[in-house]
Amino acid sequence: MGVYSCSKVPITGRRQLSLIPETQMAGMSATAYSDFLSENPPLPESNSDAQRVKRVGLKISKAVDEYLKSKGREDLVENFVWEFHTVNDPTINAWCMPGGRVVFYTGILPLCKDDAGIAVVMGHEVAHAVAKHGNERMSQALGIQGAGQALSILTSEQPTTTRNLLLQSYGIGSQLGSLAYSRKHESEADKLGLVFMAVAGYDPRVAPAFWERMAAQSNGGKPPELLSTHPSDNTRIKDLQNFMPEALKYYKV
């Protein structure tokens, strides 16, 4: 069928299997992204919050291109068309779909505090897309039904089923759901995110403090949407700190 591919995640070198061509992922995500914005109109470009998010996003996207070019992995973003939007919603969340399509919710901005904090989130979310985590999750879901059915499912006359699978895989459920990445994916996104923000000129040492603020939001209750399936904990903060020397190699003051 021509839908199988095996690649390595940058930095970690972990091999992953993808059943879905990235061109198809990009096309599906473009439609889903447009649908989301139609239902959740973004803040106008003149809005200061929208400007901040876009400003940081553009720096991170340039850093991604620069980093991947240095590693000879430009292919990972060859189908990306970067977009950055902010929606007026108190939910503490942000996400990036295939192709570099990003949405920030105003609810997360107070926790970010400044551009560097936004860069922590932006780098982390963009890293999920660069590392093809969503494709991997969709492939796993399709694999349960049998790899041989993958292409027929995605090209069938069932747009609602395909759209829901895509949105669930990228953490954008019908209730603006929560991210559903595994701990393995989170660790990879944390590491890549630190590198991307460092290359972009943001001090990666602010990242642990941001995730501590995120964790504190739960107060022993339900965690923020961004952490609902993978609560921040001491292990995550420790891992970030352990990786910090590597990330700082890319930070030029």
> 96 and 56 in contact (C-beta within 8 Å)?
no
Comparing CA positions, the residue from 135, 124, 131, 133 lying closest to residue 236 is 124
Collect all residues with Cβ–Cβ distance below 8 Å to 177 and sequence separation of at least 6: 167, 168, 171, 225
In a 10 Å sphere around its CB, with 0-12 CB exposed, 13-18 middle and 19+ buried, how is residue 174 labelled?
exposed
60, 109, 195, 198 from 49: Cα distances, Å: 17, 8, 24, 22
Catalytic residue among 22, 83, 125, 186: 125
> At which residue do the structure tokens 């620069």 appear?
66
> 159 and 94 in contact (C-beta within 8 Å)?
no
12, 29, 41, 87, 226 from 176: Cα distances, Å: 30, 15, 14, 11, 11
3-state SS assignment for residue 15? strand
Q: Locate all alpha helices (DSSP H) within 45-182, ordered by sequence.
A: 48-70, 109-112, 115-130, 133-144, 150-154, 159-169
Is 125 one of the catalytic residues?
yes
Comparing CA positions, the residue from 147, 216, 221, 226 lying closest to residue 181 is 226
Q: Catalytic residues, which ones?
A: 125
